[in-house]
A and B are shown apart, each in its own frame.
Chain A
Amino acid sequence: MRRILALVATLCLIPLPSFGAYDLPQKQVLITATEVATGAPVAMTFGNRRHRTGYLVVKTENEVATASLVVQVQNAGLGAVTICTMTAITTETTTVAILGSEIAALHEGAAVTDACDWPMSGSFNVAFVTSGAGASFDVTAHIYWVTD
């Protein structure tokens, strides 16, 4: 009896990854609007088991003074390797970059402002840096994964 139950439990585990593959995978980088001020950059590191390409969507709100936000993505390893630096964001807007794609940015008038060639690795950092005297943005950021 125990053997059979153990067998069933084991077999139940096998297909679970296949359910995950059909997710609408979304990584919430900055879940809620987070203030990113000059001199106080915000950086985070994420584990990334299987995704290589995705849309990074950054929303800036409540600009103070004349802020300029740069988002930098690094593959984390023995030393962080910069794989993407987005064009500076200077207004309250929603900006989209594609990570891990060789498509040229601005192609065909799409609203994707940056394309960063290098594929994402198993661990990566995202850093938000604001410059400008006394400036800040409230920033929200998500990644919508496209490929495994």
Chain B
Amino acid sequence: MKRFLFCMVALVLVALVPPMPAFSAFDKPESQVVMAITEVAQGAPVSVTINNRRHRTGYLQVKTENETGAASLVVTVFGNTALGDFLLCTSSAITANQTTTILLGSTLTAAGAIADVCDWPLPGSVTFTFTDSVPATDFDVTASIFWVTD
């Protein structure tokens, strides 16, 4: 009986390990796919909402491929609340097949290969909207976030 109880206690302890904060620190750094490759055409913007329980700063990387015509893609970031979404960031227009990096939630200044820096920390729920503004054009877009801070 004692051995059984001892095993049960050990089992409970093992089950409790993953949520402990110290262990969760091993998760970092982590990335999150915002959007698998998706065609974004003029007149058909694509919005993706992610739950973001604990991250405030991260690199948003946007890869544009297979441009049709002279497309121009803008990424807007919104914080979501029950009282309405609010704009946090608008990226510079992306006009070529390339990988663009935007730092979200930082007060640094854009430089080098970092195209945009958006100051505002990310709240618990965030929507990314990908919009192509040039008629009869499109991009195939992939986007991921590489989180920096909790």
Contacts and interface: CB of A to CB of B under 8 A. Distances in A.
A148 B13 CA distance: 27
A interface residue count range (under 10 / 10 to 19 / 20 to 34 / 35 or more): 35 or more
A19 B24 CA distance: 11
A31 to B, nearest CB: 10
Contact of B19 (A15, A26, A94, A144): A15
A94 B119 contact: no
Interface stretch (A39-47, A53-61, A71-79, A118-126): A53-61
B84 A108 contact: no
B90 A108 contact: yes
A21 to B, nearest CB: 6
A57 B83 contact: yes
Contacts of B24: 18
A96 interface: yes
Interface residues of B, number: 34
Contacts of B88: 110-112
A82 B137 CA distance: 52
Interface in A69-101: 94, 96, 98, 101
A19 B124 contact: no
Given A1-B5, A101-B121, 9 more contacts: A11-B16, A24-B53, A57-B86, A102-B107, A103-B119, A108-B119, A140-B83, A141-B83, A142-B83
Interface of A: 1, 4, 7-8, 11-12, 14-15, 17-19, 21-26, 53, 55, 57-59, 94, 96, 98, 101-104, 107-112, 140-142, 144, 146-147
